[in-house]
C-alpha cells in the first residue's frame, strides 16, 4: 500500500453499530454466521457458529463488513487483539441474531 491508500483507510468513519434485519448490532453483540453458498472451506467450517462482533468496518467501496471472533474459539483472545487466524469478516447479509 502506498501513502494515498493508507490515507483512504484513515478517512473512513469509525462505525460502532450497524443494522441487520431491522435490528441494531454493536461491537460485543453475539451473532450467528450464515455464509453465502459457494464459499471456501472456512465458510463451511464457520456456518451456524455463534460469533462475537469485534469490529464494524467499511471497505473502499463503503461496503460494511463485520469482523467477528468465534465464541467457542479457545484463541478468541487473539482475535480480540486483531490477530490473523482468529478474526473473520462477514457481510451484513451473512449474519443473524441467534
10 or 84, greater pLDDT: 84
How confident is the model at residue 59, as a pLDDT?
Answer: 78
Domains belonging to the chain, first-starting first, are 14-96 (2.30.30.140)
* Distance (Å, whole) CA 16 – CA 1: 26
Q: Which tens digits make up the pLDDT trace of 10-55? A: 666 778 899 998 999 999 999 999 998 887 888 889 999 999 999 9
**pLDDT score, position 37:** 85
pTM to 2 decimal places: 0.83
Q: Hey, what's the cell of 32?
A: 450467528
Going by C-alpha positions, the residue among 52, 59, 15 that lies closest to residue 33 is 52
Amino acid at each position: 500500500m502506498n501513502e494515498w491508500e493508507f490515507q483512504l483507510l484513515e478517512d473512513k468513519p469509525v462505525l460502532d453499530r450497524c443494522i441487520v434485519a431491522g435490528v441494531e448490532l454493536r461491537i460485543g453483540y453475539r451473532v450467528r454466521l450464515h455464509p453465502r453458498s459457494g464459499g471456501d472451506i472456512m465458510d463451511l467450517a464457520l456456518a451456524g457458529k455463534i460469533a462475537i462482533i469485534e469490529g464494524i468496518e467499511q471497505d473502499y467501496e463503503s461496503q460494511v463488513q463485520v469482523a467477528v471472533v468465534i465464541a467457542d474459539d479457545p484463541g478468541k483472545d487473539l482475535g480480540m487483539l486483531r490477530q490473523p487466524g482468529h478474526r473473520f469478516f462477514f457481510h451484513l447479509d451473512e449474519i443473524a441474531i441467534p
